[in-house]
A and B are shown apart, each in its own frame.
Chain A
Amino acid sequence: MEILSFLVSFGTLYSIYLILASSMELEYGELGLPSFAKAAFLALGAFTVGALSVRVGALILGLALEGEFKLTSYFYATLITRQIASHPLLGLVIFALPFAVAVPLAALLGAAVTYPALRLREDYLAITLIAFSEIVRVLARNYEPLVGGTFGAGVVNPFAWLGSPWRELVLFLVSLAMGFGIWLLTFKISTSPLGRILRAIRDDEIAAKAYGLDVAKVRAWVLAVGSAMAAVAGVLYAFYMGAVNPDDFTVSRTFIVVLMVVLGGRGNPYSPLVGAGIYLLIDRAMIFVKHLLPIPFDVNYASYVILGALLIVLLIKRPGGLVPERPLLTVKEIVNISERGDETLLFHKRE
């Protein structure tokens, strides 16, 4: 049973990371945009749950919330969860509502972010996104009514009408469905003509513009979609954790997502599957090791040092990741092909 529970937990987390990696693959792997505010959009989804699950639950049940949110959210979360055990519909509403709120909001915000992107060089854009991400975190930390500041917010369990372990299983299945669905969407985009447009902009923006591509519009669209995906992941993450804490959404999270994409291979639509999996395995392995070795410092720190070094090595040695992008036809090949008289392949080159 323990192994099952571990697998279910691992599977849910994998699905969440799959969504994040897919969104980053679209933005960074395909379009070449350093989407460094990823943690902020993840947070957006999670904060929506943190802010709303207890309040909406209380509203529907007619409960009056007394006391400061930061001090009582966990208490009320438990209370409402118990109510859900006999009111499954309430649970479903609480589950679905954050998606309806966070996803459109994230999409709008993501598209809005492209405006500074127009004016800024990529490095200044990156620092602005990072700063934005940190500001979101700091705001959430300080504005206590949102998600309880440093205390964090309790989250209602929407599947409490099922006994454990079924609740975790249902969350896992839902996450898996969403994760795979979103990855499939990314795959479809990547292998479609739109994908070629994204990569064209990534490889040579000026040439893309010369061919009449509206780069700004494409960027806005991609960032909107990517941010919406991140918000979905955030909602699932909040329900998975059962609580929301602002300090869980630092730039380190963004870094991990970038690492996943580089691990899996930028520009390759399978990379989210591979990258998310490998990262999670490394992560679980390090947690396992932590219990074995007595070290005089927090093992999380060591894991970031190792992961950082890993990313650097990957960028230098295997920039294509473990599953590299399909290479373009080169001039030499085309010359050979045309000499062979194979017209169809020549046409293929022209896209």
Chain B
Amino acid sequence: MLDVIIGAVVYSNFLALLSIGLCLTILTSRVSSFAHGDLAMVGVYTAYTLSAALGLSPYLCLPAAFAVGGFVALLSFALVFEPLRRAGAGPVTLMVASLALDMVIRYSLHIYADLLQRTFNVYGRDFMFNDARLLVGGVSIPGALIGSSLTASVLLVMLYLLLYRTKLGVAMRATIENQQLAMVLGINVRRVFAISWFISGALAATAGVFLPFRLLVNPDTGWSMLLSMFASVIVGGVGSLLGSVLGAYLIGSSELLFSYLLASLGISTAYRPLVVFAAIVATLMLSPRGLSILWSNGVKGSWRS
């Protein structure tokens, strides 16, 4: 049971960083990207490559994952979503484009995995990172628990500071609330978009690095968790960054608990997504504004609302 709790915390930390990034790009550029989960895998393979090539612990590769993930997200903004926005594409078109982008990124990772396997003789798929274990108060705890919680907290706090204590952050929040007014005031809205995409990718990639400590990963792993990311955003409340984070912890815990339940009943844990589906349906039927109804009065665009 302790293992389930540890797993839930690590998984929720991961979901939180991914959901907040997803929410950020939805709020700024109005894009729900189906390629978001793949950014996490970009981080995994970056860390894995460096780790295998230089013999470093994956923990030390976090900054590299951060940078590469941010860069890939930035590229996808510059090459895909910004040109589409300029061409006047609607939300459905943007979604279809993000699906195509998912194909590009995910299968490129598959190709990379094949290359790792056949050319460099390293496992390209279904690998895990060896985790260090720490002794805390007589109990042996996996390093990933501490590492992911610490990283998630630090990154979320930094994001908060960026949004609420810097001029750029004010500009970002303003753009989220009223893009036209921001433009009228001379804010470079395109730069705001680019930065929010970078952040979203960097957070996703960094979070991804913690996955291989807990489960076998392959290029499709991020994609398979996409539903949970969207569920976190929906449950948290559309347009609420704080909501996405809280939603992530809720969904993450529910998923792992449900999985534990299935296993103890002898049912295949492949049915785990059903609880996520149920959460989405329940939210939409009972409280469409999700958790955010607890602290907001419906005005869009802040950390809280």
Contact = CB atoms under 8 A, between A and B. Distances in A.
Direct contact of A and B (CB under 8 A): yes
Interface of A: 28, 32, 34, 36, 116, 119-124, 126-128, 130-131, 134-135, 138-139, 141-142, 251-252, 255, 258-259, 262, 296-298, 301-302, 304-305, 307-309, 311-312, 315-316, 319
Size bracket, chain B contacts: 35 or more
A135 B104 contact: no
Nearest to B227: A131
B92 A308 contact: no
Nearest to B30: A123
A312 B93 CA distance: 10
Contacts of A135: 273-274, 277
Interface in B241-299: 268, 270-271, 273-274, 276-277, 280-281, 284-285, 288
A122 B95 contact: yes
Contact of A127 (B32, B84, B93): B32
B115 A119 contact: no
Contacts of A119: 284-285, 288
- A-side binding surface: helix, strand, loop or mixed? helix
B158 interface: no
Nearest to A303: B107
A205 to B, nearest CB: 11
B89 to A, nearest CB: 7
A294 to B, nearest CB: 11
A301 B115 contact: no
Contacts of A251: 99
B181 interface: no
A141 B273 CA distance: 14
A139 B99 CA distance: 23
- Sort A-B residue pairs by CB-CB distance and give the 4 closest, nearest first: A308-B103, A123-B32, A297-B114, A308-B104
B226 interface: yes
B110 A131 contact: no
Contacts of A120: 284
B192 interface: no
7 contacts: A119-B284, A119-B288, A121-B238, A130-B227, A304-B107, A315-B93, A319-B87
B92 A34 contact: yes
Contacts of B102: 308
A296 B107 CA distance: 14
A138 B107 contact: no
B14 interface: no
Contacts of A138: 270-271, 273
Nearest to B124: A297
A35 to B, nearest CB: 11
Given A120-B284, A296-B114, A308 B101 contact: yes
Contact of B80 (A123, A258, A312): A312
